[in-house]
Amino acid sequence: MPLSMTAFARIDRATDWGDIVWELRTVNHRYLELSPRLPEVLRALEPKIRDAANKVLTRGKVDLNLRFQPGAINSEEVNLDLDLVKKLLAAANQINTMTENSQPVNIPDLLRWPGVVKEPKLDNEALQTKVLEILSEALAELVQTRRREGDKLKLIMLERVQAMKKTALAVAEIMPEILQNFRQRLNERLQEIIAEVDTDRIEQELVIYAQKIDVAEELDRLQVHLEEVARVLEQEKPIGRRLDFLMQELNREANTLGSKATDIRLTNAAMELKVLIEQMREQVQNIE
């Protein structure tokens, strides 16, 4: 089943060490390009984060953004640096004496002073384990989003495949009429310019030219390629590059069909095929 390369996943989790937020964004790209953005305290995790992403993704430009807000979620008391508090209070009293200002110290302002409230000591190993655990959840959510988008792309592709098969069948049905019309027109022109017509030579020329404008091989190859597209869309592995190659082959057959056109209906059919192929190619660019 195809996976889209365009997806988004976000997990916000409150832990014993603080708030952990993973945001993953992916867009189409020829190869897999990972761009982790990590807070400094968790910078050492980057190799493991890349390994985790490489295990589930094969193509796409992927932004892995991690935000970590430290906090004492389960702490029942606030730890203060009492020595710093005493120094700040002494400084405040000294200023009040110098300025003859008896305004009391604002407690909330005092608590917001850098270093007054001690940050809880982090258990780095446990924190890193939790970060990677949440990343696995985010990656699983990302893959599910990719799969849902891929299912939609598959339906779009199969609709185009059926439309192309219908067009190819219509061409095959009108080819005998086109060849007969050409034979009749050529005979009429030759009768006008040649008094005595060598019917055997005319028949030979007709056979040669009919072979040049015959599109049976192109239609057969087109059918084979379309069947292969439908088969590939059912595979449980990355299929984007394979589909891209098939789009090139389909386009080649449509171009050849157009170059051999001796009837406006063939020209229109070739143009319709090229439009459908281009629509499929646009979707293929988003498939992993």
Q: What is the pLDDT of residue 149?
A: 92
CATH number of the domain residue 235 falls in: 1.20.140
**Over 98-161, what HEC string results?**
HHCCCCCCCHHHHHHCCCCECCCCCCHHHHHHHHHHHHHHHHHHHHHHHHHHHHHHHHHHHHHH
Encode pLDDT of 5-60 as tens digits: 999 999 999 988 889 999 999 999 988 999 999 998 899 999 999 999 999 999 99
In sequence order, the 6+-apart residues with CB closer than 8 A to the CB of 232 are 239, 242, 243, 246
pLDDT at position 89, please? 81
pLDDT tens for each residue of 140-161: 999 999 999 999 999 999 999 9
Provide the β-strand partners of residue 65.
23, 37
The answer to whether residues 12 and 143 belong to one domain is yes
Residue 115 has pLDDT above 70, yes or no: yes
Asked whether residue 165 falls in the same domain as residue 207, the answer is yes
Q: Same structural domain for residues 67 and 189?
A: no
pLDDT score for 138: 96
Q: Average the pLDDT over 247-251 and give the result.
A: 94
Whether residue 110 contacts residue 85, with contact meaning beta carbons closer than 8 Å, is answered with yes
**117 lies in some domain:** no
Q: Of all helices (H) and strands (E), which one includes residue 24? A: strand 18-27
pLDDT level of residue 73 (50, 70, 90 thresholds):
very low
In the prediction, which pLDDT does 41 show? 86
Q: Quick one: average pLDDT of 123-140?
A: 92
Residue 193 lies in a domain: yes
Chain-centroid distance, C-alpha 13 = 27
Question: CB–CB of 168/222 below 8 Å?
Answer: yes
Rounded distance between C-alpha atoms, residue 221 and residue 217, angstroms: 6
30 and 161 together in one domain: no
Sole residue written with tokens 């629509």: 279
* 198 and 264 fall within a common domain: yes
Q: How confident is the model at residue 245 (pLDDT cuts 50, 70, 90)?
A: very high
Percentage of the chain beyond pLDDT 70 is: 85
Give how many domains the chain has, as a whole number.
Answer: 3
Higher pLDDT, 124 or 234: 234
**Nearest alpha-carbon partner for 53 in 29, 27, 40, 35:** 35
Question: How buried is residue 91: exposed, middle or buried, by Cβ count under 10 Å (0-12/13-18/19+)?
Answer: exposed
Half-sphere exposure of 205 (CA within 13 A, CB side): 11
| Confidence (pLDDT) at 193 | 60
- CB distance 28 to 285 below 8 Å: yes
Alpha helices in 233-263 (DSSP H): 240-259
Candidates 135, 138, 152; CA nearest to 287 is 152
Does any domain span residue 118?
A: no
Instruction: Print the domain residue range for 178.
Output: 149-284
Looking at the structure, do residues 177 and 264 belong to the same domain, yes or no?
yes
For residue 72, pLDDT beyond 60? no
Picking from 124, 126, 136, 145, the residue whose alpha carbon sits closest to that of residue 48 is 136
Give the span between the Cα atoms of 261 and 178, in whole angstroms.
10
CATH number of the domain where residue 132 is located: 3.30.230
Q: What is the pLDDT of residues 190-213, one digit of tens each?
A: 676 665 556 666 666 666 666 666
pLDDT digits (tens, 9 = 90+) for 261-287: 778 888 899 999 999 999 999 999 889
